[in-house]
Structure 1
């Protein structure tokens, strides 16, 4: 992909995420880093997060779960997170959160997973034409861990990029955000050191399954092999911002679990953000920055 760049125009980073809070976990560091370097930042959030936790941790499916109230809470959290990271533009596609794979919410009207890829991709392509990102980030093909909205975000991003093929402006680089397999081991180590007995037992079961899968030569259900990740960005210098951005999403139990690590352990675990450069020869590319090779 080769973009026609106008001299003096600021570089732009666009990340396409599924839910409010996703921007903080996988790209909070690269967003904060980009802002500090004068790079324009654009976040596209595809869903409204309605299948997230309600007040008091009430889960979807519980009679007390108020989806519309959750939407309002999560919109406010997203706004606060964006301010912490210093994001210039936040675009929301407004699709309904689809919930986890296999939930009844997957097929409801308005659900992101139930939306034709071509329809959502056309909207995203229009945003790309408007903002002209030099670098686009989304998830790997499995949506990191198989979440339908993450998979759909991957699909519409790649389809949107295809729609731009042959146009005067195209992204110069497209990345898939995904954790390395080695990070799974780090989670295990942290759980053994700081987790409850129930969490340790759950992790032991999970690790046994992962080890068996690797022994068979299978892919793990989350992340990518370390050697397939082309780009490892050290974002420890922006750890406090990333932690604070995630803190803005405190209504969600997944966020609370990571925040419970504390700032220092969070930085040790989440201080390097990893990506696969689309189209790169795996094993031949090793970058430390998403904008490597682009004119500043």
Structure 2
């Protein structure tokens, strides 16, 4: 597996692959780079058909799992993701949910155990570039935080990746977009002022505008999940603005030729 440039993204749930990395997956797949998605959980704490939440009557975790994995297969095919690896852990749910207490939930799995499995995948695929969430899981989700922990541990144990990035939500532009959406009545959600990452902390801005419509289609594939609805209801110009670039913070780098500010996660590697 050492013959090609390879990107591996470590995500927590089915659908997480789309918003922050769907564009780079589609772009790099089109460029002939090997694309690998590792999805840590099966998404059992997602919405059941009709928007039924965990704990509500009619929520069947097993049925939700099958639905979400089916949606994942459709989404990854649209994005051109070449290899999908499922770690198969149980979705923990949001912080404070009853699912947090399940001993089989991803958040409760020993980091070393899950990291060892991920390290084996790194040794097999040999990704020069790995992408995951920051230490807070971008917004505090326990499964995102756990994904960060095992990705860092696996990268250290395998000594394979040359670069590791955290996904980042650009604060300034995101607040502007939500202000515009509220003015149009499209959303009633107002992010806090400290939402996202200031642009001066972002080290990579990747142009994926040519693949923005694929991101929309991949998000539509995860139609059972209500979280995707606000993005799909956005006016097309705002959606293109949001989906046209993806931003990252470079957590570590062993590539001497890589610039401090990047427009390509493989800068210095090709």
Counterpart check, 1:288 vs 2:266: no
Q: 1:17 to 1:271 in 2, by over 3 A?
A: same
Match of 2:143 in 1: 149
Match of 2:212 in 1: 239
How many Å separate the matches in 2 of 1:149 and 1:266? 27
Counterpart check, 1:248 vs 2:248: no
1:90-122 Cα distance to aligned partner (Å, 9 max, x none): 000000110001112112021001111111100
How many Å separate the matches in 2 of 1:273 and 1:20? 19
1:108-140 Cα distance to aligned partner (Å, 9 max, x none): 021001111111100100110111111000011
Unaligned runs of 5+ in 1: 211-219
Q: Counterparts in 2 of 1:152-167, with a 5 A limit?
A: 152-165=146-159
How many Å separate the matches in 1 of 2:98 and 2:132? 25
| Count of residues in Structure 1 that have an aligned counterpart in Structure 2 | 265
CA positional deviation for 1:262: 4.7
CA contact (8 A) 1:179 1:274 kept: yes
Unaligned runs of 5+ in 2: 254-258
CA positional deviation for 1:64: 1.3
Q: Counterparts in 2 of 1:23-102, with a 5 A limit?
A: 23-102=17-96
How many Å separate the matches in 1 of 2:110 and 2:236? 40
Match of 1:120 in 2: 114
How much is the aligned-residue C-alpha RMSD, in angstroms?
1.6
1:26-51 Cα distance to aligned partner (Å, 9 max, x none): 10000000011110000000000011
| Runs of at least 4 residues off by over 3 Å | none
Match of 1:188 in 2: 178
Match of 2:256 in 1: none
Match of 2:97 in 1: 103
CA contact (8 A) 1:239 1:263 kept: no
How many Å separate the matches in 2 of 1:264 and 1:251? 24
CA positional deviation for 1:223: 2.4
Please identify which structure carries the higher helix content.
1
Largest Rg, 1 or 2: 1
Higher alpha-carbon deviation: 106-115 or 22-31: 106-115
TM-score by length of 1: 0.86
